[in-house]
Chains A and B, each alone.
Chain A
Amino acid sequence: MHIPQLSRVEIYRQIRVILVRRLIDIGRLCIVVTGSRIHVKGSLQFLPGVAAAMTPGTVQEIFKEIRSIRSITAVDASLDNWMLTNKITQTWVPIQAAQTTEARESAEPTILFGCNESS
């Protein structure tokens, strides 16, 4: 039986559904869908007020769920605060906050919108 491929917009939507259900702050993530591959960048963290701590197991579960979206064959990530150290075992480790800030500041000298906003 032929299972139709999901449109890119539908894949994006399903990813957002997963992240919101898991109380992830989607404002800190950017997702890129290219063909059947998903790339996630930014910072993976819970919303303020979530009592649970983000653990390697939580990160693993989130990516497992994203990988299970139909039409998706691969998911990779370049996160500011988590690093995949073993692709086979899907082992994630947190990256130190200090390293993260330093890396971001040196990597993104671009025009920013809304810098003087108070809203």
Chain B
Amino acid sequence: MFREVKGETLKRILLVDDDVAILRGLKPALTREGYDVVTTSNPTEVSSMISRESFDLIILDVRMPAKSGVEVFDELKKINPDMRFLFITAFLKSFSVESNAMLKRWQELLPDGNTDVLYKPFKLDDLYLKVEGLIGPAKGG
């Protein structure tokens, strides 16, 4: 289940986005960096994937029709409070439509420092920095 290169277990990332084009673009980019990447366009299956497999980082689109990234985040935090997350979103307001509610939500979601945010559109270099800042380089770190 875990991919190894020269005896080292690679860090595993679960990438969740309803846009298959994003998954197709980001999976090879992160794999090239040395991460073991699993993707899904269905946020409703993330909980069951987490119960079967172990991941170092979950990259979540915020706005998805079947289930929002924030809902997925809430579910997974109950399973593993130390789980690391990177939210990818076009709008800060995706966290909530009301800015005051958004502020409150922001403070609820992010205070432990285990979660980061990246706005679309983004450069791959910025994605790599965010990922490395959350889980370190693909091997070791």
Contact = CB atoms under 8 A, between A and B. Distances in A.
Interface of A: 7-9, 12-17, 20-21, 23, 25-28, 30-33, 47-50, 108, 110-115, 117-119
B61 to A, nearest CB: 6
A25 to B, nearest CB: 7
Contacts, number: 112
Given A111-B123, A118-B90, A119-B94, A23 B113 contact: no
Contacts of B22: 113-114, 117
A28 B116 CA distance: 10
Contacts of B121: 112-115, 117
Nearest to A48: B99
A16 B116 contact: yes
B120 A25 contact: no
A13 B141 CA distance: 14
A113 B122 contact: yes
B124 A21 contact: no
A47 B92 contact: yes
Nearest to A118: B90
Given A26-B110, A117-B19, A49 B99 contact: yes
